[in-house]
Amino acid sequence: MHIHGPQRGFTLIELIMVIVIMGVIGGMVSVFMKGPIDAYFDSARRAALTDVADTVARRMARDIQRALPNSIRNPGDASNQCLEFIPTKTGGRYRSAPDGSGAGDILDFSTTDSSFNMLGLNSALRSDQRIVGSDVIAVYNLGISGSDAYTGVNTAVVSSASEGTPTLANETKITLTAGKQFPLVSGSSRFQVIPNDEKIVSFVCPTSTPGNLVRNANYTYPASIDATTSCPTTGAILAKNVTCTLVYSGSDLQRNAVVSMVLKVTDSSSGESVSLQHEVHVSNTP
């Protein structure tokens, strides 16, 4: 026979009081925790917006710095900002006079010429910078009538690039698809190479209502943007919910220019925006 002592437990009132007290404590904790948690998510959202703006600005800057000298144009319309330019992938120096033995294919500006020697080996360039067939050679582009790559007056299409002969082992022969008389001599015997798959590039984005920032490429020179043509907005999307200001400050006496960019990226859920200003130095020395 077992004798049990008195047993005790929680009464309903005690249980309710505990629940109420825990609720009050939990509410107080949540009040103190809400601020830091909200601040964390706000910081994360702003960091993401800043990262998008910074990544896009750097991508645009890399492209703009490869622009053919004096090819940047800054047309626009009531709803879009636009920056257009001709990209380059490399440059070089052409032979302007024969060597001591009289050898060497010079680039002749006095008549139609279909080939010339580039100083240096094409194979020594990085693979993505090597000159290949259908690339375009531009010489002394000033961006004015008589020396404007958009019109093709100072450009020619490459047929082939072959390594030099035994007597000119460190040179590359550039052969053109057709004879060309370039209008102006480069004082430093320089030329630039426009890639065959991207002969013209533009960045376009809205000015007031957030929309897509796009990169257009591969359209032909006659279809390029001008003061009376609306900017194409169907290119590759670089960022969404963006407005921007793109300003090109023309060259000064030192043949330098600046592209100023202000990118404003907006979060679609919160409506919060982050603005980033970036300037790109452009060398316009042809």
Q: Which amino acid is at 286?
A: P
The number of beta carbons lying within 10 Å of the beta carbon of residue 264 is 18
Mean pLDDT of 118-144: 95
137: nearest Cα among 218, 66, 193? 193
* Residues paired with 194 in a beta bridge: 136
Asked whether the predicted pLDDT for residue 123 surpasses 80, the reply is: yes
Is residue 263's pLDDT more than 70?
A: yes
Which tens digits make up the pLDDT trace of 224-238?
A: 666 566 677 788 999
Band the pLDDT of 16: cuts 50, 70, 90.
confident
The predicted model scores a pTM of: 0.84
At 201, phi and psi to the nearest 5? Answer: -135, 145
Mean pLDDT taken over the chain: 87
Domain boundaries of the chain, sorted by first residue: 68-86+198-283, 90-194
Per-residue confidence at 250, pLDDT binned at 50, 70, 90?
confident
C-alpha span between 160 and 176 (Å, rounded): 7
Q: How much is the pLDDT for 9?
A: 61
Q: C-alpha distances in angstroms, 67 versus 124, 178, 274?
A: 22, 25, 28
In this prediction, what percent of the chain has a pLDDT beyond 70? Answer: 87
